[in-house]
Amino acid sequence: MEYVITAIIGYLLGSIPTAVWVGKIKYGIDVREHGSKNAGATNTFRVLGKKAGIPVLLVDVCKGALAVLLPFFIYELSWEEDHLIHLKIIGGVAAVIGHIFPLFAQFNGGKGVATSLGIIIGLQPLAALVCLGIFLIVFIISNFVSLGAIIASVAFPIVVEFLFKNENDVLRYFSIVLGVAVIAAHHKNIKRLLQGNENKMNLFKK
């Protein structure tokens, strides 16, 4: 029951369609009908600008982090327990599924990158910081958000395994699956990158 309860609450957290609600309530626009037609932070930045994109990004990250930290609010567990790690992963995975297939937005959501970052923060804060640094470096140099996300997702299992000496098998496999999932979610972006027509975004452009 612990796994079921954690999964349900995690899914409901992930289902909060931040980009859709911000776009419709504040701007009268459904971001899923513009730009890349994706209900995520990147498309919100592209369609509505930074004033809308920043809060969407922060909330989407928090959804993943809160889902991972759910066991601390529901159960009496210590930081060292493997059972805790498994529950955190269940909550995080459910949140990403909720973000991609949100109950509150006709099951049409985003790619789950920001929410995945929140999961990493909740699971391995230092590893998340390293991967965020990798993302920013790639993004700033290339102006491709998708390329930064792809490379950071590939780096995550490597960072967890070799830099932070992970000893939990479930976390090891999850980090690999998460990386593969992010890459799979960007398959269209990868195709556009290879064709040379991927959308660029300048982080410092007003």
Q: How far apart are CA 191 and CA 193, in angstroms?
A: 5
- Whole-structure pTM value: 0.81
Q: pLDDT tens across 43-67, in order?
A: 898 889 889 999 999 999 999 999 9
Q: What would the DSSP string read from start to end of 166-197? A: ---HHHHHHHHHHHHHHHHHTHHHHHHHHHT-
Q: Which of 133, 140, 151 is nearest to 200 (CA)?
A: 140
pLDDT at 138 over 70: yes
Reported as a pLDDT band with limits 50, 70 and 90, residue 203 is low
- Helices (DSSP H) in 75-186: which residue ranges? 82-100, 113-123, 125-142, 145-158, 169-185
